[in-house]
Amino acid sequence: MVQEEIRRGPWTEQEDLQLVFYVKLFGDRRWDFLAKVSGLKRTGKSCRLRWVNYLNPDLKRGKMTPQEERLVLELHSKWGNRWSRIARKIPGRTDNEIKNYWRTHMRKKAQEQRKKATSISPSSSFSNCSSSSSITREENERNFYDTGGIEQLQVEEQKKDNDQEQAGESMKVYSMDEIWKDIELLEENETINKSIMGSISPLWDYCADPMWKDFDWSTFR
DNA sequence: AAGCTAAGCAACCGCCGCTAT
DNA sequence: GATAGCGGCGGTTGCTTAGCT
């Protein structure tokens, strides 16, 4: 069997538009199906990731606010590297974003600590690796990074949090910018719309029903 | 202006758990 | 009950951008 070529690497605007369209059409669940039906040469996983981390209109973009930073610190001390869990508590932020933030944040922190430590005493360093002079810089950062908050996780608390999570699940805060502008442009310009629909996917070939003619793009948000 | 380094971010990989068959 | 397929998660990598020399 000839394996269909799978695209990797950065997503193009065209791919984004395609994905957004199909997610709105079929929902953000069956990613393998979406990947196939959309005609995107991407894996379901890749589609999901792109949606979750970038295209989802509920995402908040830009720098973390001090409140969010505090929340991340607090929750990480509680749960450790449970990024998706932490992300659920911070509307508009993804696990990937928080993870990246944490890494950067901790690297900075580790460097500051190291500076402090070396300025006070050459032998004093991180509390968890003070005796090992052979430990590398990277290892130091890693030790600092992995605070192991998981041990603090308690079953009772987890239950409680799960309940809270369920209750607050529908929190939706911010909308996304550029992709949606593109969608709006499409909405305004039906000729472009049609040409894209014609070229994007083999699915259109199967759709005898002209449902797309009256498709309301404004419901995309 | 050019080169270098660090920071930030997007995307991939591998593993695990859930679910349908 | 076994297993295959899929989605989700955490860890990691690599590219781009910003800042510094």
Distance A152 CA to C15 C1' (A): 36
Q: Is the CB of A66 under 7 A from strand B?
A: no
User: How far is Cα of residue A128 from the mean position of the Cα atoms in its chain?
Assistant: 31
Average pLDDT, chain A: 65
User: How far is Cα of residue A191 from the mean position of the Cα atoms in its chain?
Assistant: 33
- Asked if A208 contacts A29 with a C-beta cutoff of 8 angstroms, the reply is no
Please state the rounded mean pLDDT for residues A179-194: 46
pLDDT of residue A125: 36
Q: In order of start, what are the domains of chain A with their CATH numbers? A: 13-55 (1.10.10.60), 66-117 (1.10.10.60)
**Cα–Cα distance for residue pair A182/A184, rounded to 1 Å:** 5
Separation in Å, CA A171 to CA A35, A96, A165:
27, 19, 10
Rounded percentage of chain A residues whose pLDDT exceeds 90: 12
C1' nearest to CA of A9: which nucleotide? B11
**Cα–Cα distance for residue pair A53/A100, rounded to 1 Å:** 12
Over 70: is that where the pLDDT of A9 sits? yes
**Chain B bases closer than 7 angstroms to a protein Cβ:** 7-14
- Total-model pTM: 0.67
**Chain C bases closer than 7 angstroms to a protein Cβ:** 5-13
Distance A21 CA to C6 C1' (A): 22
With 0-12 / 13-18 / 19 or more C-beta atoms within 10 angstroms meaning exposed / middle / buried, residue A48 is buried
Give residue-wise pLDDT tens across range A101-150: 888 887 777 767 666 666 655 443 333 333 333 333 344 444 444 444 43
